[in-house]
Amino acid sequence: MQDEMRLGTWPLLEATRRRICESRWSRFVPVFRLLRPKDDLLAIEAGPPGVRGQGVDPLLEKHQAFRLFRQSLPPRLALAVERYPARQWAVLRMVQEREDAVELIEQNPALGFCTANLARFRALFGNLGKQAAELSCQPQRDILGWLGFPDTQAWVNVFHKILPETVTVGRVQALRDVARDQDMAKRLAHLPVINTGVLELACQPQLLELVTPALLNEIAASDEERLHGSAVHLLADLVDTLRRMNERPRFGGIRTLAGLHERAQAINAAHQRHMLMREEVWATLKFPPPPVLGTNDIVPLTEPRQLGEESREQRNCVVNYCERVAAGKVFIYRVLQPERATLSLAPAANGEWEIDQLLRACNQPTSPMTLQAVQTWLARESVSI
């Protein structure tokens, strides 16, 4: 049984919750998602077509509540905020305090998001919505400087390229840590957009330096990299795999994602032979319970032996994740339908768990149908809309 929550509609915007076995309601700040674009794969109608009722679909009440919340918002504001994956409440509060702040989140969505969530970049107290509204009045270069970035037009332009659906507090904080590198803004300036794949690469300079300009441009143009940084995770896995085999990572000749996947197949084949000797060491590790309840088609792997089996069957390096699973940093699932795949979940910015990687054998991308099936399963187990 989950906590009870109440969300006051616009323009009240008051969130309260009552924990299990408590009678008192208390205020809280939602970090979970409140709005979702209507063309999103998960923006689905609850229940089968033409049939409505909680006996048919237990998600009906949740969908109705979020639909009513959206209907209370000015349409312009809802469209501006809906693409952020988390912490939308802070953005709404900023605009509640200053209506013209909506212009910032329309003109530069990533910068508007960070402005609204300003307390994640500095230690602040008091009325955060009002403080965010005051900061939103400043020129964009000055806002960047306040957030801890170089206050240059080059970085304003970089932020303008960041897709709103990929911006999270954690990613922007990581980008701030590398922003003092003068070459970083120059390298990102040549890209048409900065999606999840590019943003996560930029936050890890040691991996970014392994990527050719041609490969970086293909990552920026890839639909598969829009919401999930598959390439950076694959690169990180391959670098880790090579180091475990005492080999130096070299990817200078790879200009396409297809070439990266071909190199991964060769490295994983060598790694499978190398790792047969390591599984006995990992067999003593204890995994925590699955963070999301599995199904007949999405099966949690609850012990190191199963990760070894999955790694051999799918010809990937998921067996290397044993220590990360044991530490609660990731969890692995075997996907059986609509197609065979390996799924890893990681803690998300909204306090729940999200897709980290979802790949077929040999680290090949899955079909949109498989991605939608996994997303729908997660949505059914999630508080977020």
3-state secondary structure the chain: CCCEEEECCCCCCCEEEECCCCCCCEECCCCCCCCCCCCCCCCCCCCCCCCCCCCCCCCHHHHHHHHHHHHHCCHHHHHHHCCCCCCHHHHHHHHHHCHHHHHHHHHCHHHHHHHHCHHHCCCCCCCHHHHHHHHCCCCHHHHHHHHCCCCCHHHHHHHHHECHHHCCHHHHHHHHHHCCCHHHHHHHHCCCCECHHHHHHHCCHHHHCCCCHHHHHHHHHCCCCCCCCHHHHHHHHHHHHHHHCCCCCCCCCCCCHHHHHHHHHHHHHHHHHHHCCCHHHHCCCCCCCCCCCCCCCEEECCCHHHHHHHHHHHCCCHHHHHHHHHCCCCEEEEECCCCCEEEEEEECCCCCEEEEEEECHHHCECCHHHHHHHHHHHHHCCCCC
- CA 116 – CA 263 distance, rounded (Å): 42
Peptide bond into 11 cis (omega under 30): yes
The percent of residues above 90 in pLDDT, for the chain, comes to 68
pLDDT over 60 (residue 58): no
Check: CB of residue 216 under 8 Å from CB of residue 191. Answer: yes
What pLDDT score was predicted for residue 279?
63
Express each pLDDT in 217-253 by its tens digit: 999 999 999 998 999 999 998 998 888 787 888 888 8
What pLDDT score was predicted for residue 281?
65
Express each pLDDT in 251-299 by its tens digit: 888 999 999 999 988 888 887 776 665 666 677 889 999 999 999 999 9
Q: How confident is the model at residue 44 (pLDDT cuts 50, 70, 90)?
A: very low
**Average pLDDT of the residues of the chain:** 89
What pLDDT score was predicted for residue 83?
94
Check: CB of residue 321 under 8 Å from CB of residue 344. Answer: yes
What pLDDT score was predicted for residue 333?
98
Say if pTM beats, i.e. exceeds, 0.85: no
- For the chain, the first-to-last Cα distance in angstroms comes to 18
- CA 153 – CA 141 distance, rounded (Å): 6
Q: How confident is the model at residue 203 (pLDDT cuts 50, 70, 90)?
A: very high
Beta-bridged to residue 354, according to DSSP, are 346
Q: Of 372, 352, 376, 371, which Cα lies nearest the Cα of 168?
A: 352
What Å distances lie between residue 31 and 73, 89, 132, 195, CA to CA?
Answer: 18, 7, 16, 21
pLDDT over 70 (residue 86): yes
Q: How confident is the model at residue 384 (pLDDT cuts 50, 70, 90)?
A: confident
pLDDT over 60 (residue 49): no
pLDDT over 90 (residue 196): yes
Q: How confident is the model at residue 363 (pLDDT cuts 50, 70, 90)?
A: confident
Number of neighbours of residue 4 by Cβ within 10 angstroms: 12
pLDDT over 50 (residue 177): yes
